[in-house]
Amino acid sequence: MDYVQITTRQREEMLKAVGASGMDDLLKQVPDELRLDRPLDLPPGMDELTLRNHLSELAGQNKSAGQKTCFLGAGVYDHFIPTVVDHLAMKAEFLTAYTPYQAEASQGSLQAFFEFQTMVCQLTGMEVANASLYEGATALAEAALMALNVTGKREIIVSEGVHPQYRQVLRTYLSDLPAIYTEIPLKNGVVDTQELESELDADTAAIICQSPNFLGHLERVPTIAKFARANESLMIQCFNPLSLGLLKRPGEMDVDIAVAEGQPLGIPLQFGGPYLGLFACRQQYMRKMPGRLVGQTTDSEGRRAFCLTLQTREQHIRREKATSNVCTNQGLLALRASVFMAAMGPNGLRQAAQLCHNKAAYLASRLSDAGLSLRYPNQPYFNEILVRLRKPVNEILSAADRAGIIAGYPVGRDYPDLSDCLLIATTEKRTKAEIDALVRVLNPT
């Protein structure tokens, strides 16, 4: 009772201090038609035990990928995560979501980010990588902004095979800038290179393609890079980090900037993100690169030490002159990716990538046996295949859900001409029995 009286008195004092006679007077600037004229329709209060039980019942209505067989991909994948990733990522000397502002006081975090940058460079074949960005979509948008700054040109050409959500984020970034956004359509599931060549002009700052693209197909990145080089434009590739266990690295295909969603590197699905943005480029563009760069040095006693080498591109340092508005990063998730890559090693990444591809090939073979076909059967793929169904996609998805299977992603919501297709991803976790069960759902007798 005393608590209520104190709270009421404090409220009256605060209202008096701002010259309001009551709550209605305080809120009079809100139009009457927007104000609720009745009490909220809320159930009576609960004690803590009852509330916990109620929330548990509500949470139990959700079904996670851990409770069902997950073939959902479209940029986020159900990969195996070694236990060591969780264990080391929670150690106090590393645990942070940020690049610290008093950086040199946090040598453990800085060393983790330095190792992360090193492994991203090794993974991509690029010369320099930053200490991570928010997630794949903003990494791609930052790459486009960097291309505009590096070249002084205005046009960004983007393949329709780039993740639809990434393209939307990029359009948002460019909407208030003196920049031109141009999309190149797909032909047989990959970039239409003839259309691309005809679209290039002297004002093209960069070409952006994704490989494997959103439909799962491998793009002809070296060919597209030749177009960019001949036009004095930059080549930006969005890639799947785990696919580089099998495929050529961006640095081996004359790519200028390589970006990715780092979720496949030891990060759980966690409600769709955001996750971790990977960003690497040629060394000549380093001073235009967004985010932070951790470097290795020695202290006053000659001991190995780490520091923030470059962060002057950011708005907290250079304000309106900054080339990037990235003011922090996904430090904890970059740490998870570092532990994952170190634990797996080159051979482990190669084996995981090979398993992903082999199981996609097995799925494609079983679908063919069942009389179902790939939408673009002649296009190579990594771990995702685009399947044409005989029945409505939503009907198949509902049947799969009843069978305990998350069957895939309905691409028709982003590509209306593919409304009869389902994008299905396989990872190293999927078994032959699970794939066979999926095929039975996709082709009911």
For position 352, which CATH number holds? 3.90.1150.10
Question: 324 near 290, Cβ under 8 Å?
Answer: yes
Same-domain check for residues 301 and 377: no
Same-domain check for residues 286 and 379: no
Same-domain check for residues 197 and 293: yes
Q: 375 — phi, psi (to 5°)?
A: -65, -40
Q: Tell whether omega for the bond before 212 is within 30 degrees of 0, i.e. cis.
A: yes
The parent domain of residue 405 ranges over 69-78+345-442
pLDDT value at residue 3:
45
Which amino acid, one-letter code, is at 329?
Answer: N
Same-domain check for residues 310 and 395: no
pLDDT by 10s per residue, the chain, length 445: 444 455 778 888 888 888 888 878 888 888 988 888 888 898 888 999 999 999 999 999 988 888 899 999 999 999 999 999 999 988 877 776 665 666 677 788 888 889 999 999 999 999 999 989 989 999 999 999 999 999 999 999 999 999 999 999 999 999 999 999 999 999 999 999 999 999 999 999 999 999 999 999 999 999 999 999 999 999 999 999 999 999 999 999 999 999 999 999 999 998 888 899 999 999 999 989 988 889 999 988 999 999 888 876 666 666 777 777 776 667 889 999 999 999 999 999 999 999 999 999 999 999 999 999 999 999 999 999 999 999 999 999 999 999 999 999 999 999 999 999 999 999 999 999 999 999 999 987 6
Here the CATH number for the domain that contains residue 229 is 3.40.640.10
- Residue that is last in its domain, among 305, 322, 341: 341
Domain count for the chain: 2
Same-domain check for residues 335 and 351: no
pLDDT value at residue 27:
83
E-strand ranges in 155-200 read 155-159, 180-184, 186-187, 190-191
Q: Which residues of 217-242 are buried (b: 16+ CB within 10 A; e: fewer)?
A: bbbebeebbebbeebebbbbbbbbbb
Q: Is 424 helix (H, G, I), strand (E, B) or coil?
A: strand
DSSP string computed for 97-120: SS--SSGGG-HHHHHHHHHHHHHH
Same-domain check for residues 316 and 351: no
- Show Cβ contacts of residue 218 under 8 Å, excluding neighbours closer than 6 positions: 190, 211, 212, 247, 379, 380, 381, 382
